[in-house]
């Protein structure tokens, strides 16, 4: 009997505690707003010529820069760690802003992803460099774009066009570095799950309210 109690305390109890606290992070926490009401894209066009909007979508936003092919590995990391896992979520889109003139390079990235990924929720959107810089400036981030108008970071923007992240001084996080798969698998995945939980909880609440009516 004593042996069973010892085994329970050593092995089972820590697992139960971990599951409790891990679920608590996603169930009882909201992801803070870093920047309120990000400006929408306007008339910028994607590879297929269609207009892309931030309204009503959870957006994973990236800035490719004019050297997009040099950083193609970053998009494969993001695709493997986040996109393929949540591609079925209908209100989710992955948008990459690219300088005008890089359409062929962006198409090569899409063509490379297509054989093993449904790329319907990937959108590469094109704008002049100065407009990309102006758009980035209004995000009010600590990080900066490089000389190519790009960054390895991606950002989470919610359906109301708020940029979300961690605003704690000890754990500030405004974007997630696609160069490091471990950051995508840990910090970004944790934060993204919180966003999804928020919307699922809201949908459930609205559904219950409708049933009561």
Tell me the mean pLDDT in the region 89-109.
Answer: 96
Asked whether residue 16 carries a pLDDT value surpassing 70, the answer given is no
Specify the DSSP class assigned to residue 38.
P
Asked whether residue 24 carries a pLDDT value surpassing 70, the answer given is no
Instruction: Identify whether the C-beta of residue 78 lies closer than 8 Å to the C-beta of residue 184.
Output: yes
Put simply, whether the predicted model's pTM sits higher than 0.85 gets the answer no
What are the beta bridge partners of residue 144?
none
Confidence at 201, pLDDT banded by 50, 70, 90:
confident
Share the mean pLDDT of the chain: 87
- C-alpha dist (Å) from residue 143 to 39, 60, 98: 18, 17, 18
CB atoms within 10 A of CB 205: 10
Confidence at 200, pLDDT banded by 50, 70, 90:
confident
Confidence at 14, pLDDT banded by 50, 70, 90:
low
Q: Which pLDDT belongs to residue 118?
A: 94
What's 33-212's CATH class? alpha beta
Confidence at 85, pLDDT banded by 50, 70, 90:
very high
Tens of pLDDT, residues 158-174: 999 999 999 988 889 99
Detail the DSSP E strand segments found in 25-182. 33-35, 45-46, 58-64, 92-99, 122-127, 150-157, 163-164, 176-177
Asked whether residue 202 carries a pLDDT value surpassing 80, the answer given is no
Least confident span in 21-25, 41-45, 125-129, 192-196: 21-25
Tens of pLDDT, residues 62-75: 999 999 999 999 99
Asked whether residue 150 carries a pLDDT value surpassing 80, the answer given is yes
State how far the Cα of 73 lies from the Cα of 87, in Å rounded to an integer: 19
Q: Which pLDDT belongs to residue 84?
A: 94
Instruction: Identify whether the C-beta of residue 143 lies closer than 8 Å to the C-beta of residue 174.
Output: yes
């Amino acid at each position: 009997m004593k042996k069973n109690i010892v085994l329970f305390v050593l092995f089972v109890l820590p697992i139960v505690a971990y599951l409790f606290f891990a679920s608590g992070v996603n169930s009882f926490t909201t992801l803070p707003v870093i920047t309120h009401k990000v400006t929408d894209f306007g008339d910028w066009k994607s590879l297929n010529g269609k207009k892309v909007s931030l309204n009503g979508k959870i957006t994973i936003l990236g800035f490719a820069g004019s050297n997009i092919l040099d950083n193609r590995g970053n998009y494969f990391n993001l695709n493997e760690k986040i996109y393929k896992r949540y591609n079925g979520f209908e209100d989710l889109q992955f948008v990459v802003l690219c300088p005008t003139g890089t359409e062929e390079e962006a198409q090569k990235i899409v063509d490379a992803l297509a054989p093993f990924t449904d790329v319907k929720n990937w959108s590469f959107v094109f704008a002049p460099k100065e407009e990309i810089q102006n758009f980035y400036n209004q995000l009010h981030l600590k990080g900066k774009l490089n000389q190519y108008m790009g960054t390895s970071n991606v950002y989470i923007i919610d359906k109301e066009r708020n940029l979300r992240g961690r605003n704690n001084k000890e754990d500030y996080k405004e974007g997630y570095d696609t160069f490091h798969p471990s950051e995508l698998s840990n910090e970004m995945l944790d934060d993204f799950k919180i966003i999804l939980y928020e919307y699922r909880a809201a949908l459930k609440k609205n559904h219950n309210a409708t049933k009561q009516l």
